[in-house]
Amino acid sequence: MGAVDPRNSVPPGRVAPFFGFVAAVTALALGVSAGPLTALPGRLAELPAAFWTMAALAVVCDARPFVPPGRRQSSAVFPSTCFTFAILLGWGLGPAVAVQTVAVVVSSLRTGQAGWRAGFNAAQYACALAAAAVVTGLGPGEIFDGGRLSWGDVLAVGGAAAAWFAVNYGLVSAAIRLRFGDRWWPGVRSGLGYELISTGSLLLLAPVLVAAARASAALIPLVLVPLFAVYRMARLAVEQEQLGALDPLTGLPNRKALLTEVAEQVHLHAERAARGDQDAHLALLLIDLDRFKNVNDALGHAVGDRLLVEVSARLAGAVREQDLLARLGGDEFAILATGLTGVDAARERAERLVGALAEPVALDGLPLDVGGSIGIAIYPEHGEDFATLMRHADVAMYDAKHRNDTVAVYAAESDHNSAERLGLLADLRRVLEAGPVGAAGRDDRGVAGVRGGDGAALPAALAPTVADRPGRSTGGAARWGARRRRERPASAHPDELIDRIVTAADPLRRRAAVAGDGPQQPGEPGGTVAAEEGVDRGAGPGTPVAYAEPAGRHPAPGEVGEVGEVGEITMYYQPQVAIATGEVVGVEALLRWRHPRRGMVDPEELIRVAEQSAVMRLLTRRVVDDVVGQLAKWSAAGITLRAALNVSVRDLHTGEIADQIADRLARYGVHPERLQLEITEGALMADPRRVLATISRLHTIGVAIALDDFGTGYSSMQHLRRLPLSEVKVDRSFVLGMADDADDAAIVRSMIELAGALGLRVVAEGVEDERTWRLLHAAGCDVAQGWFYARPMPAEELATWLARYRPLRPAAREAGTRPPQAR
């Protein structure tokens, strides 16, 4: 990229303080050097040839300073430093300042610097030389007195060099600070090492040059040989560094070069923003090729490498000359687009790149279609350093992939990999590795909080006298050996996730609610809620009865769930009821994590965080252990239920879950038909071959398989015919609307008929009201679950709910419940 030196201008808002500093440094330089310069004319006649030789070499060498390749003029190395410091050691401050000033003027004319820059450079050099002169004056005597160099002289020279460097670098850094504001330190820090090596070498070469001059002035030009050697070695080192910043396959800059360029451009664009320029934005565009892995797998890595070279050439032709194209590794490329006016300009650059990748790439006569997903992060809106911009561009790129789009701009709501999420993952790992807390210390006091037919708490007057189950709290959330208390309002449901959903004012909940009948009870996560107003629903003697918790009731001591440092994982269970008979035939196991700071963690977020790491394996083990263990406890208590639990894509891909389930069933003595696994259509399509192998093993063991979220994914007759399924679950998004939407009702009926023709049991999720329940019965649905029957509840509460549950058997279809006709 073309490098433009920005140092001939000053941002408008910083003109006064900056030039005030320049004036102060200039005044200081005049003050410390006025006396020696005034005495200089009288000394010119006595200055030896060695002085004039050094002075001439200082001016000539500075006419062409050494600028390392790839760096800006501000990083140039001026050889005059060596000669003027030697003149200071040999002949004093006046001659040194005079020669340095002439060299600065010549160099400024040669490099096109503004007049104020030349004046400031001459002044800061004069101050640095004056500081060095003060240190040499603290030595034991004249430097090189009598041609002999003592240890005191060595220390004086070293101290003088250090003083020169400290004053010079300090004044320059202060000037940068006044021009760049808070952005000054990264640039100063990154350049410190380079300045120490380059300028420090020149300063320490000066005593050698003085020693040679004392022997003969003819030896002075010989210093050009080591200077040229230093120059050449430095150039080779820089070239080697440049090679290390290139991608060996495509020849493009790599991540290291991109990092350096972003740091440089951030400073330049900060200046533009301070001046009020419109083109003060830069964009980092991250490109990930689509289907590149397929090319590597099918045609080999050699063809994949050739494809990358071709793609890099296309991208290079689509970017502007002032933009930087880099390959980060694999099939990832990045473009640093500078001088933009905003997001629209960045999108325009991205669309040009998409167009460059639209045409297939022909390799050996085979056209290869390689598109790309592009994520955009804008400076300064989305970050002010390389790491932040890169991470946000990466988030945007994956957002584009998930939305099946080609271009996406970073949005904070799409950032699922924040530090907060990483902290959540760490807490999840800790709570899983700790394992469930034993029964020690659990409450065992008795009466409070018995549940009614739908899981709602019975008033104290109606509650039977039963012992409280271990770990039970009024809120219904299990306590696992908690360490600290946290009280909850009596009106809030113990399941915080449910309570959050209810407060979102779902329209179906509002329609079903009866105004003024007390607090409504929340229910199953992720859906709507039926009214639970504390009175009989009025549907006959078989209707479940719901009771509202008495207003103003506060938990008794010990009832509020206590939580540890990272909370506890527990399982809630929601009954599944045969519609025709009202019999409870099973439960669905639902994961709950009550976090001490976040409250109840959204299960979807929990799974999304865990599924991308090895923590998913620990989570699956915990869920399987808890559910199978609970089935064994229910069997011992005479409760025969089937439990369904969800499994992730990661579980189905590894196949380890089949061995784990077989082991746990044998250990607890649970019949395999008591357990059912629910898989989603998306999980099935992620890798059908491996998923089918795992499902087949589970089917052989005797574990039933259900297809969850039926109708929302990629279902086809082929999948339903090939898979060893026993059940399909109609997604709640269709069930919730079937009472009011003819299309939803028609879709649900069609799915029920299809599943019935294939001999599969049908379960409807999200049954929230009586009309939906009757419509499902009329359509021939087998099983229903939802708040119409019961909310999810901890295992110990389910036993009480079952004891009080009265089966609800639908009567013949009544007038007014006829399914609406599809349009």
pLDDT above 70: residue 190: no
Q: What are phi and psi of 794, to 5 degrees?
A: -65, 160
Q: Is the pLDDT of residue 720 over 90?
A: no
Spatial CB neighbours of 410, under 8 Å, sequence gap ≥ 6:
375, 376, 377, 378, 382, 392, 393, 395, 396, 399
Question: Which amino acid appears at position 221 of this protein?
Answer: P
Residue with the larger pLDDT of the pair 427 and 223 = 427
Which residue is listed with tokens 């527990």?
Answer: 570
- Residue 333 above 70 pLDDT? yes
Q: How many C-beta atoms lie closer than 10 Å to residue 391's C-beta?
A: 18
Please state whether beta strands 407-409 and 372-379 pair in parallel, antiparallel, or not at all (unpaired): parallel
Q: Note the pLDDT of residue 777.
A: 92
Q: How many residues does the chain have?
A: 823
Q: Please give the pLDDT value at position 50.
A: 87
Q: What is the largest CA-CA distance in the chain?
A: 126
Q: pTM here?
A: 0.48
Least confident of 119-133, 187-201, 357-371, 474-488: 474-488
pLDDT at 442 over 80: no
Confidence grade of residue 568 (pLDDT, cut at 50, 70, 90): confident
φ, ψ for residue 107, nearest 5 deg? -65, -40
Instruction: Please say if the pLDDT value at position 544 is more than 60.
Output: no
* pLDDT tops 90 at residue 63: no
pLDDT of residue 377: 93
Q: In this predicted structure, which of 170-179, 389-398, 478-487 has the lowest mean pLDDT?
A: 478-487
Helix axes 115-137 and 93-111, enclosed angle (nearest 10): 150
Q: Which of 478, 422, 472 is nearest to 447 (CA)?
A: 472
> Crossing angle for the helix pair 615-636 and 656-668, nearest 10 degrees?
30
Helices (H), 638-725: 649-654, 656-668, 681-686, 688-701, 717-722
Mean of pLDDT values over 375-383: 91
pLDDT at 490: 38
Q: How far is residue 123's CA from residue 113's CA, in Å, rounded to a whole number?
A: 15
479-488 pLDDT, tens per residue?
233 333 333 3
Q: Are 98 and 110 in contact (CB under 8 A)?
A: no
Which DSSP category does 276 fall into? T
Q: What is the pLDDT of residue 701?
A: 92
Average pLDDT over residues 454-478: 35
Q: Give the range among 59-63, 469-473, 639-643, 796-800 with minimum mean pLDDT.
A: 469-473
Q: Of 119, 38, 51, 141, whose CA–CA distance to 88 is shortest?
A: 51
The predicted structure's pLDDT at residue 180: 61
Distances from the Cα of 566 to the Cα of 83, 268, 426, 442, 492, angstroms? 67, 46, 9, 18, 22
Under the banding of pLDDT at 50, 70 and 90, the label for residue 577 is: very high
Q: Which of 70-74, 253-257, 481-485, 730-734 has the lowest mean pLDDT?
A: 481-485
Q: 624, 661 in Cβ contact below 8 A?
A: yes
Query: What are 7-32's pLDDT values in tens digits?
Result: 566 666 667 888 888 899 999 999 99
Stretch among 150-154, 185-189, 537-541 having the lowest mean pLDDT: 537-541
Residue 419 clears pLDDT 80, i.e. is over it = no
DSSP symbols for 182-211: GGHHHHHHHHHHHHHHHHHHHHHHHHHHHH
120-138 residues labelled b (16+ CB within 10 A) or e (exposed): bbbbbbbbbbbbbbebbee
Q: At what angle do helices 151-180 and 184-215 cross, to 10 degrees?
A: 150
* 138's tokens: 């603290």
Check if the beta carbon of residue 430 is closer than 8 Å to that of residue 620.
Answer: no
The partner residues of 282 in beta bridges, in order of sequence, read 379
Residue 656 is encoded by which pair of tokens? Answer: 């380890």
- Cβ-based burial of 438 (10 A; exposed 0-12, middle 13-18, buried ≥19): exposed
Range in 176-180, 200-204, 213-217 the model is least confident about: 176-180
**Measured between alpha carbons, how far is residue 237 from residues 100, 117, 243, 258 in Å?**
28, 30, 10, 19
Task: Give the C-alpha separation, 785 to 408, whole Å.
Answer: 39
If one counts every other C-beta atom within 10 angstroms of the C-beta of residue 554, the result is 12
Spatial distance between the Cα atoms of 754 and 769, rounded to a whole number of angstroms: 24
623-800-770 Cα angle (round to 5) = 90
More confident residue, 547 or 45: 45
Contact 64, 105 (CB under 8 A): no
Q: Name the band, by pLDDT with cuts 50, 70 and 90, for residue 636.
A: very high
pLDDT band at 385 (very low <50, low <70, confident <90, very high): confident
- Residues with a catalytic annotation lie at 765
Confidence of residue 187 (pLDDT cuts 50, 70, 90): low
Segment (H or E) for 705 = strand 704-710
Would you say 480 and 437 are in contact if contact means Cβ atoms under 8 Å apart?
A: yes
Structure tokens at 346: 């960045």
pLDDT, residue 170, reads 86
The yes-or-no verdict on residue 464 having pLDDT over 60 is no
The per-residue pLDDT for 399 is 84
Query: Is residue 169 within 8 Å of residue 208, measured between CB atoms?
Result: no
Out of 155-164, 235-244, 582-591, pick the least confident.
235-244
Stretch among 112-126, 185-199, 669-683 having the lowest mean pLDDT: 185-199
Indicate the pLDDT class of residue 209, thresholds 50, 70 and 90.
Answer: confident
Segments in 365-473 forming alpha helices (H): 386-402, 419-434
Quick one: pLDDT band at residue 242, thresholds 50, 70, 90? low
